[in-house]
Amino acid sequence: MGSSSSSMDHIPNAEELMQETGFSAAHLLRLYERFEFLDKDQTGELRPEDFGAIGGLALNPIGDRIISAFFSPGQETVDFPSFVRVLAHFRPNGTNRTRNGTQQEPVNSRTRKLKFAFQLYDQDRDGKISRAELLQVLRAMLGIQVTEEQLQSIAERAIQEADLDRDDAISFDEFKKVQQVSPHPQTPTKETPLHPTEGGR
Amino acid sequence: MPSRTCSHSPSGFGKSLPEQGLLLLVVLVLLEGSVLPLGAASSPDVSHQDDSHNHKVADHGVNATKKVFPVLDVDYHHIQTPFEISLWVLLASLMKLGFHLIPRLSSIVPESCLLIVVGLLVGGLIKLAGEQVPPVLDSRLFFLCLLPPIILDAGYFLPIRPFMENVGTILMFAVVGTVWNAFFVGGLLYAVCQIQPANPSSLHSIELLHCLLFGSIISAVDPVAVLAVFEEIHINELLHILVFGESLLNDAVTVVLYHLFVEYAGVGTVTVMDGFLGVISFLVVALGGVLVGAIYGILAAFTSRFTSHTRVIEPLFVFVYSYMAYLSAEMFHLSGIMALIACGAVMRPYVEANISHKSHTTIKYFLKMWSSVSETLIFIFLGVATVDGPHSWNWTFVTVTVILCLVARVIGVVGLTYIINKFRIVKLTTKDQFIVAYGGLRGAIAFSLGFLLDQNQFAHRKMFLTAIITVIFFTVFVQGMTIKPLVELLAVKKKQEAKRSINEEIHTQFLDHLLTGIEDICGHYGHHHWKDKLNRFNKKYVKKCLIAGERSKEPQLIAFYHKMEMKQAIELVESGGGVKLPSAVPSTVSMQNIQPKKPPPAKAAERALPQLPKGREEEIRKILRSNLQRTRQRLRSYNRHTLVADPYEDGFSDLLIKKQKMIELEKKIKEMNNYLTVPAAPPDSPTMCRARLASGRDTDFKPAQQQKGNKICPDPQAYSMKPVSDSVPVIQVDLASPQSPDSVNVMDEFRRANQEEDQGLMMKPPQGSSGSNKPGEADTTRDQQRLMRCLSDPGPSADEDEDEPFLP
């Protein structure tokens, strides 16, 4: 681990990023190191293959969706700021560092997190989770052990439960409402890996 | 059951005849209990005299008169012990009955207080009768008989997910908090005792170690008391699991400290080495207990895999293995409580996948029953022991103890929370801290531990006991009674009666995957990563070993979904009579009592619903309203004692939807003339009918055809379903259909079982089953069996943890 000041210089727009995402310098540094680790051919940008190299992600049923969430539509690569911005969604609440009076919602508010999750469902970005999209997710998560009929019925039921305006799809508001009682979609560990005591590969 | 109106009258208790009868019964029982021993004392003399008389007579020779054949003889001693035990249990149960008949009382005063008062009364009565008060809270009886059922009940139905999410916090409170309490109370008590200026009281002679021992006894939060009080206040899940978890896990600490100080109090000194050994001992005790429990749990799970042919004794395995885990742990001086918890928690997911629904019900009911009775008995005995116990009141000691306990608890909680909040995501607010501190109740465990002390070794045992009892009384009465209003006052978040919808389930799993993925990207092996690994391990190896047959491969989501559909199907069938109302009211079905929240039913039905005549709607609304009133009074939220979940906490919208479904079914029933008197709907709920329709398997209507006699119901039209609504995909409830291959297991099971007997436990139409209903019922019962196989008891956190992977 190099001295923080010199490494920080490598990070483009570090100050800005910190402001925008709320990460501390230490966090940012750590993420940068991780970014560099993933970036095998040192281009300064990540490609889907780089993500795919992560072992756990390959086993993850929604791994490919997560990967594609990093890439804005049309883009082939992810640079560090985008990387950090996406990950900023998962910074736990309560550690919001005061910004210079940003009025917009903090990046890791509950709504933003739900929006992020919603976008993972909603692959075609039309603002609604259609039955087909839900089916895809279910298929991915449940694997091959389940028959098509079962999947259909589950998807059907899920839509019926959530779909309040009867358009046969789940909009973001309906999605939010259903998740009212769910726990915060936060990773409890986002803070801790950046503490020397707990983090570690 | 006395009608509600009666018990609401201001003069309440004793007004109605059954209640008077109950009161009379209780008094009789009490009298009997106290008088019989007196009678027993005299009877031996009588029989003795008889004997001697007879001998004398016999000696006189042949012409002696035949001795009078004892037509009626009283031989109390023969049955004394079991009789007295039964008497106590009966008393406890009657008390419970009695309390719930007095609604206002039970809402003000927690049950535990009332029971202690009863115990005091009984003890007083016995003393008045001049009899020796039996040493009821004998430590062996307590630890070996009374405590295990409660702990097993708690462990088996422990909501794993919240527990595991907060395990760090819980451990901190349990371990560090208890140690802090013990030393603080013990140390300061010693100091206070020493500084007694004027009167050279006996307090001066207390040694430090004795004080520390006392401190460790008194500092443990008691699971029984916590359960008893927290059950009634319906606090939010987080707080509940924090306090409750703490009370369970601090057993290890208490055991170690207790033994440590008892050992060394004799010697008089404790060295650093001893302290170090103490720490090691703690680890051994705690981890050893958990290990023992886990081993027995796995054994039980494994055994349950093979019980498909002997369903009747399945519950026995659960109970016996758990009890043996407890005893084994106690044998090695490990923490029996932790063993029991570990055993219950480990075996549950696998056992439930293996056992039949009936066994499941049996286990649930037996556990609830035993733990309920146990808890009642414990509190009554506390009261009795108070009357009896050797007391030595010392104002200073007792008051200082009480104050110190409170202060120590508050400081401990606040201090620990400050540290813990640095690591928590969902921080503990001040309100939370207050409730955690205030909920630190002491109970019978402390008393029993004190009772165990050797009088010779500990000269101040009596004083200790008095102080312990005072603290217990204080916490249970004062804190127990006031916590409910305080919770209201502080507007602490109450338990959300969240209906666990399929969306939640999907989303939770989705989130888990998502977070695991993010963790992988960040390169952090955190919480989710390990959880995921454990799940995978569980799925791949453990489930295969421990779960019989096909169910080992069933994904959790599917199981959950089945469950929901089944529940809904059953509700519809039960409510299908039209006048029969939302089936949360367990009018006909004992098993329905177990049923937790109802998920919102499929809304497609609404779309298909034709317009209702106005009058009809009004009628139904009226019925609904009246039933709503009635059932609100009768049902309460789930707690250990009633097992009935309050469906109406979910919201009224469910009711309206159900009403519409009901109307639908009504219409259908009208078309089936032969069933007007039998409110049980045919096995086809609209859901299932749609399923059959959509799948085009018209042949599946055989059971329906049988039911309808010769009238073959044209499927869709009977439900007034428009074809357009059949874009609804097939619902997999084909499981319900006899032809479905998946239902084979269940069917076999039922074929083997006595059909009549099944229906004894099963849902029956209120008017009894007519012959032609049988196939329909069998079908429904199959559904229900299938469902109940999955259903597990909703702990305070309701449905959430059913069928979750081992460590979600």
- Min distance A166 CA to chain B CA atoms (Å): 9
Number of A:B CB contacts under 8 A? 175
Q: Which residues contact B259 (CB under 8 A, 6 or more apart)?
A: B281, B333
Residue numbers in A near B565 (CB within 8 A) = 153, 157
What is the rounded distance in angstroms from the CA atom of residue B92 to the CA atom of residue B88? 6
B199: contact with A, CB 8 A cutoff: no
DSSP codes, B591-633: GGGG--PPPPPPTHHHHHPPPPPHHHHHHHHHHHHHHHHHHHH
- Residues of B numbered 412-441 whose beta carbons fall under 8 angstroms of chain A's beta carbons: which are they? 423, 425-427
The model scores a pTM over 0.80: no
Q: Which single residue is written with the structure tokens 């808890």? A: B375
B552 touches chain A (CB under 8 A): no
End-to-end alpha carbon distance in chain A: 14
CA distance B515 to chain A (A): 6
A178/B507 touch (CB, cutoff 8 Å), yes or no: yes
CA distances for B108 relative to A9, B308, B396, B475, angstroms: 66, 47, 31, 16
Nearest CA in chain B to A53: B521
- Closest alpha carbon within chain B to A87: B518
With H, G, I as helix, E, B as strand and everything else as coil, classify residue B325: helix
Across chain B, mean pLDDT equals 70
φ/ψ of A152, rounded to 5, equals -60, -45
Instruction: Please tell me the distance from the alpha carbon of residue B566 to that of residue B564, in angstroms, as a whole number.
Output: 5
Query: Worst-scoring range by mean pLDDT, A99-108, B142-151, B546-555, B785-794?
Result: B785-794
Residue B504 touches chain A, beta carbons under 8 Å: yes
Q: In angstroms, what separates the C-alpha of A50 from chain B's closest C-alpha?
A: 10
Confidence band, pLDDT 50/70/90 cuts, at residue A93: low
- Cα B310 from Cα B639, distance rounded (Å): 31
Alpha carbon distance A78, B65 (integer Å): 114
Distance of alpha carbon B293 from its chain centroid, rounded? 19
B427 → chain A, closest CA residue:
A94
CB contact under 8 A, A61 and B513: yes
Q: Is the pLDDT of residue B332 over 80?
A: yes
The residue among A29, A38, A138, A160 with the most chain B CBs within 10 A of its CB, best to mutate, is A160
Tell me whether residues A57 and B517 touch, CB distance under 8 A.
yes
Task: Report the amino acid identity of residue B120.
Answer: L
CB contact under 8 A, A186 and B425: yes
Give one word for B122, left, alpha or beta, with left for phi > 0 and alpha for psi -120 to 50: alpha
Q: Is a pLDDT exceeding 90 seen at residue B149?
A: yes
**Rounded Cα–Cα distance for residues B422 and B427 (Å):** 8
pLDDT of residue B623: 61
| Per-window interface: B 159-178 vs A, CB < 8 A | 165
Residue in B508, B513, B555 closest to A146 by CB: B555
Residue boundaries of the structural domains of chain B: 139-490, 499-568
Is B397 in contact with B467 (CB distance < 8 Å)?
Answer: yes
Whole-angstrom distance between the N-terminal and C-terminal Cα of chain B?
43
Q: Residue B683: pLDDT above 80?
A: no
| Chain B nearest CA to A78, separation (Å) | 13
- Asked whether residue B741 carries a pLDDT value surpassing 80, the answer given is no
Measured between beta carbons, which residues in chain A are less than 8 angstroms from residue B728?
A: 156
Q: Which amino acid is at B668?
A: K
Alpha carbon of B520: minimum distance to chain A alpha carbons (Å): 6
The DSSP H or E segment spanning A30 is helix A25-38
List the 513-532 stretch of B: residues with Cβ below 8 A of A: 513-529, 532
**Longest CA pairwise span in chain A (Å):** 58
Q: Greater confidence, B60 or B148? A: B148
**Phi, then psi, of A52 in degrees rounded to 5:** -65, -20
Q: Tell whether B642 lies on the interface with A, counting CB pairs under 8 A.
A: no
Q: What percent of chain B has pLDDT over 70?
A: 59
Looking at residue B618, its pLDDT comes to: 62
Tell me which H or E stretch contains B674: none
pLDDT score of B11 more than 70: no
Contacts of A137 in chain B (CB under 8 A): 506, 510
Over residues A74-85, mean pLDDT: 78
Cα–Cα dist B122/B128, whole Å: 10
pLDDT tens-digit map of B12-45: 444 566 666 666 666 666 665 555 555 444 444 4
**Site of tokens 């997911």:** B349
Cβ-Cβ contacts under 8 Å, A184 against chain B: 425-426
Q: ipTM value of the model?
A: 0.81
Question: What are the pLDDT digits (tens) for B754-779?
Answer: 444 444 444 434 443 333 334 444 44
CA nearest to A193 within chain B: B524
Q: Which two tokens stand for residue B525?
A: 């092996």
Residue B660 to residues A157, B307, B482, B578, B726, Cα–Cα distance (Å): 18, 43, 43, 10, 18
Residues 6+ apart with CB under 8 A from B45: none
Other Cβ atoms less than 10 A from the Cβ of A81: the count is 16
pLDDT for B71 equals 84
B589 φψ region: left (φ > 0), alpha (ψ -120 to 50), beta (else): beta
Residue A66 has pLDDT above 90, yes or no: no
Q: For residues B239-260, give the mean pLDDT.
A: 87
By the 8 A CB rule, do B664 and B625 touch? no
Instruction: Say yes or no for a CB contact (<8 Å) between B517 and A62.
Output: yes
Could you please report the per-residue DSSP string of A124-145? T-SSEEEHHHHHHHHHHHHGGG
Shortest Cα distance from A77 to chain B (angstroms)? Answer: 16
- pLDDT band for position B737 (cuts 50, 70, 90): very low
Across the interface, do B520 and A145 touch by the CB < 8 Å criterion?
no
Cα dist from B783 to A180, B675, B679, whole Å? 31, 21, 18
The β-bridge relationship of strands A45-46 and A78-79 is: antiparallel
pLDDT recorded at residue B410: 92
Q: Can you name the residues that pair with A78 across neighbouring β-strands?
A: A46
Q: Does position B713 have pLDDT exceeding 90, yes or no?
A: no
Q: What pLDDT is attached to residue B339? A: 93
Chain B positions in Cβ-Cβ contact with residue A161 (cut-off 8 Å):
501-503, 599-600, 603
More confident residue, A39 or B201: A39
Interface of B with A in 344-403 (CB under 8 A): none
pLDDT value at position B291? 93
Interchain contact, A152 vs B502, CB within 8 Å: no
B517 vs B285, higher pLDDT = B285
Sequence length of chain A is 201
Higher pLDDT, B53 or B106: B106
Q: Which overall architecture, per CATH, does domain B139-490 show?
A: Up-down Bundle (1.20)
Give one DSSP letter per residue of A41-98, joined into a string. T--SEE-HHHHHT-HHHHH-TTHHHHHHHHSPTT-S-EEHHHHHHHHHTTSPTT-PPP
User: H or E segment at A171?
Assistant: strand A169-171
